[in-house]
Amino acid sequence: MENLGTLYLILLPIVLSAALVEGLWLSRTRAEGYDWKAWATSVGDLAVRRLLAIVPYSLATPFFVLAYDHRLFTLHLDSVASVLALFVGLEFFYYWYHRTSHTVRWFWNTHAVHHSPNQFNLAAAYRLGWFGKLTGTTIFFTPLSFLGFEPTTVLAALALNLLYQFWIHADWIPKLGVLEYVLNTPSAHRVHHARNPEYLDANFGGVLIVFDRLFGTYVEERADIPCEYGLVHRVTTYNPVRINVEPWVGLWNDLKSARSLSDAWHYLFGAPGWRPDGKGATTAELRHARAAMT
């Protein structure tokens, strides 16, 4: 993990510089310009997240310890087979983590921060939210420690997976031919970030797109449906505190209004936008509304 920390310190200035250069280029070449306030919001989100990284507590930690203490094997990255097992296994569990982060409100409340920018660019890649440790997002990867990989190895691999995803947050990179069938590309990820009902809840892969194709969540970017970015209910503030906290305030208010334990459960773990009367803003309801208009 010390080596990973050193790598992070080396790569962070590169990532920030790349996003800055992209911003300068897009501000000169795009008629609509570049949203520098959103860029500053993403930098602020990153800065606070790095400060919070010193907090030792994570909801997932005891689950990792339990899984590794009862592991089936002891696996090290000393062979091609073990490296492939970690890579493919991480991709599989990342797919389900990411899919759940869009379909379960408890996890979406943190992940929504990543989808809050209304422009799709490299700076959006490092706007990730502050409360992942408290919601237990890395619990999804504990089966890899149960299989036999050390928790630190799993988390390091996850960090590298997220690093890959930095470059795919770009709206100016075209489709990449046959690579679209295997990799998570900028085109595939543009769909993932789009707020169009046709594109919601799609393309959850990390490095690979194969699990989306396997489980039916792959949606191709279409020339006749340009991607519109941001949340379904657009975020208009540039205050990172509000962007991170307001989803939880909304959840608290909904829980206070719940008339039954069933309602409370659905507010917590149902689809984002769920309402007891069926008149909410879930993906299914938004698509139904769009279909009714056409």
Distance between CA atoms of residues 67 and 144, nearest Å: 8
- Provide the 10 A C-beta neighbour count for residue 46: 19
Q: Is residue 127 domain-resident?
A: yes
CA 15 to chain centre: 17
**Contact indicator for 255, 262 with CB cutoff of 8 Å:** no
Domain count, the chain: 1
Closest C-alpha to 102, from 9, 218, 10, 193: 193
Q: Is residue 246 domain-resident?
A: no
Q: Is residue 208 domain-resident?
A: no
Which amino acid appears at position 262 of this protein? S
pLDDT digits (tens, 9 = 90+) for 250-274: 999 999 999 999 999 999 999 999 9
Domain enclosing residue 152, as ranges:
2-170
SS3 66: helix
pLDDT digits (tens, 9 = 90+) for 132-166: 999 999 999 999 999 999 999 999 999 999 999 99
Q: Is residue 48 domain-resident?
A: yes
pLDDT exceeding 90 applies to what percent of the chain?
88
Q: Is residue 248 domain-resident?
A: no
Q: Is residue 224 domain-resident?
A: no
Distance between CA atoms of residues 25 and 287, nearest Å: 36
Along the 294 residues of the chain, how does pLDDT read in single tens digits?
556 667 777 889 999 999 999 999 999 999 999 999 999 999 999 999 989 988 877 899 999 999 999 999 999 999 999 999 999 999 999 999 999 999 999 999 999 999 999 999 999 999 999 999 999 999 999 999 999 999 999 999 999 999 999 999 999 999 999 999 999 999 999 999 999 999 999 999 999 999 999 999 999 999 999 999 999 999 999 999 999 999 999 999 999 999 999 999 999 999 999 999 988 899 999 988 888 877
Helices (H), the chain: 2-29, 36-52, 61-69, 80-103, 105-111, 132-135, 142-147, 151-164, 186-193, 210-215, 240-257, 261-269, 283-293
Q: What's the predicted TM-score (pTM) here?
A: 0.95
